[in-house]
A and B are shown apart, each in its own frame.
Chain A
Amino acid sequence: MSVRVGVYVCHCGTNIAGKIDIDEVVRFSEGLENVALVREYKFMCSDPGQALIQKDIEEGKVDRVVVASCSPLMHESTFRSVCERSGINPYLLTMANIREQCSWVHVDAEDSTDKAKDLISAAVSRTSLLEPLEKRVVSINPRTLVIGGGIAGIQVALDLADAGKEVVLVEREPSIGGHMAKFDKTFPTLDCSACILTPRMVSVGQNPNIELLTYSELDEVNGYVGNFEVKIRKKARYVDPELCNGCGMCWEKCPGTRVPRKGNAHEKLSLGPTSSIYMPFMQAVPAVPVIDKDSCIYFQKDKCRICEKVCERNAIKYDMVDEIVEYEVGNIVIATGFKTFDPGIIKRYKYGVLPNVMTSLEFEVMNCAAGSTGGSIVMADGREPESIAIVHCVGSRDNNYHEYCSRVCCMYALKYAHLIKEKTKAEVYDFYIDMRCFGKGYEEFYDRLLGEDVRFVRGKVAEITNVPIHESEKDKLILTVEDTLLGAVRRIPTDMVVLCTALEAPDGLPDIAKMCNVSVGKDGFIIEKHPKLGPVATATDGVFVAGGSQSPKDIPDTVAQASAVSSAVLSMITREKIEIEAATAEIDEDRCCGCRICNTLCPYLAIKFDVEKNVSVVNEALCKGCGTCVAACPSNAITAKHFENRQILAEIEGILSAAK
């Protein structure tokens, strides 16, 4: 079969033409076998450039295309569209990368030109043997799974539900709300966190399009974009949500202590009831308690059962078991939030060793009006502190723990400084390395705090001790720090220390990532498709990420990212069908010997085993065409479409034959 390959050489301004001799390359290409014509143009990707190709195809002069220009990652889809518009199969195209792999990386012009010739020769050989491939299309189930019921998950769920689409929202804790439910006020506006969050939580609970599964976890995921089958484990609450009316008699009477009832004010910190049957906080959605087995007297010692006795709805069911439910969804959103770093491993800060050293999250709970201290800021022994220290960068910006900056701590440190000034007469010391106030209204908030008599010290705290060297330091927590702006080492005695702990990836994220076929990075967070242009999608089609699980961020950014996800998901849903990769692997049934080596090697879990026929089968929807199975198959039974052995060998031939 004779083919007519058109070779189009791009100047790319001076990016290619500045190094490579275009005329020579054109001359050379004209002499290649199967080449019908060669053209050159300043910018092939431009409209007139594309029009050149289109005209040639429509006039029947070429039926296959080689574009010698930039990386396929840049414009492969552009030129495939041109082919399609002009009437030939879009897979009869090869890009010869004479920019990123040639003109941009080599110094000598002559060598670069020779290499460009090699690359084009290879491309032409390959293109002569390419096969037309059919586009594959799958349908998209309009239901979406959202994993995580914090503000990110809530926002996604509401956006999709308001658009009339069904959502399954899975939350691991007994109630949705996430970390926002534990905050008192939020920066920089100092809104009450619960006040802005709870209306949304209630909306989620009442929206008919949202199936809310709390105290539940993701168990299994199968399938592919548009067609996922997910299994959710509904953990046993031991309280029947259908019967419970949230009256609270059970936790009022419960003698079990999930959170200590004796002990100092800091040990007893809690938002909701401290009993074993409890709601995490009073505005919980759903307003159904759960029994904490580890502290429940019945489950541990087979006594008590008071909650059962006092419940007038007979909603207590000790024999409940975990239940697995299944759903079919089209897209999955990972919105599992974050957890805070445990500063106990930084021994010099004495967290857990000395009293009155607390984490930022503990300080938040203390400040909540609904919390165990009624919103008062108190020391462990209940006294009001005379001075409080706030320490930035505990576990962040530190190669020994987390290299990254946690982004929100500078702002919430300022918030704490303000709250302390508002609620107490305490002196506030803020120890920072830099003050990161990047958002809208953030620098203004810093300005406001500068005016509130906060003692700012630029220096990372070296250590915290209770060993005094002076009378004024007795019974205090002394922070040793170099005040870098002054160049002096200072010892500052305070009554309480709040450590701004790093934000980390939540427990179990690697497991969720594995189930959803996405990856976590070195920092523990989910890897997005592209750090700048694809912050909500992932490398796996149909799986999205929003909020703290992608990287530490504040509430405005979380909500923005969540809505971005909703938009991306709705785009998928309204399209109803999407095109998937055509260059997949194909297994020749006759050659397959059933060894199943490919099954375990496939990084996308795209190969299944047909037990009846005793052969492996590629799920073309999941296959990304990586070629691992092709290389591994001992029977040579697998072909990589668009990268067949003969096509690759032809490329090699092309390079070798072009050599001088």
Chain B
Amino acid sequence: MRASSPVISIAQLQKTFYVPEREAGLRAATRNLFRRQNREVKAVDDITFEVAPGEMVGFLGPNGAGKTTTLKMLSGLLYPTGGEISVLSYIPSRRQRDFLRQITLVMGQRNQLAWDIPALDSFELNRAVYQIPRPDFDQTVAELIELLDLEAIVRKPVRNLSLGERMKVEIAGSLLHRPQVLFLDEPTIGLDVTMQRRIRNFIAEYNHRHGATVLLTSHYMADVVALCRRVIVIHHGKILYDGELSGLVDKFSALKTIVLTVPDSSIDLSMFGEVTSREPSRVTLRVPRADTSRVTAQVLASLPVSDLTVEDPPIEEVIEHVFAQGPEQAA
């Protein structure tokens, strides 16, 4: 097998849902019994991309963008309506055993472990399900306990754990079979900031140690920024951007921010650009990207500036702006 063959390969993938339309009233209900009236919802509309082994890719998109649907198709839970999809050279929807043994799907706040017994006992069941040899299993469990700091909680019934602790044992449980591909759907949702950071660190460490391919969806920018160099932005089922995180702002933001340190900030700077904030000795300007160097030169030439920095607007803002657009405006 060539070293560079992609782990995940998606071409012109489509997924259309048929959502039943319900009307009120008895007659409509009876009609509904025999002939369902359906509305078409295109959750995934012709997306194409590839993922190389060991890559960590972030899926960004607002709710309903198609991220979770894509992950479910990648893990074999949903059948695509059109297009091709291949993971580890398997067709996911065939759901072959050997395929299922090499992947894992973690959905935030979905429970896989049994509620009323210690996580360690549920791990035992996963061992049997995935047919993990005993020595490998013991080693993996020890490693996960160490990496995720589970020693104190892994023998308590899952229902007695806090939300963050539960998420940790759930993740541990889903990695017992050392999958090569990790699909993580909103893994940090609902957790506090400290726990989010811990889980992010864990994922990074896991990828580093085992070279697992990670596909991560989130609508927390922090997750994606911390873990992924490559980002795929999805909106209304279409890919808006696929590339480096740093390039994201370049592509979507038409603006740059210039922060000036000046002795008197009350001067009028409107000829240079839009003033977004004014503090005693600092002014923040927003200028069109194309004008950045011209404005910078002009400002330096005409004002007593002691410090000047050129920044990108915060990624969150950029993304928000992108998501706020309708499907027609999607690039």
Asked if A and B bind, the verdict is: no
| Interface residues of B, Cβ cutoff 8 Å to A | none
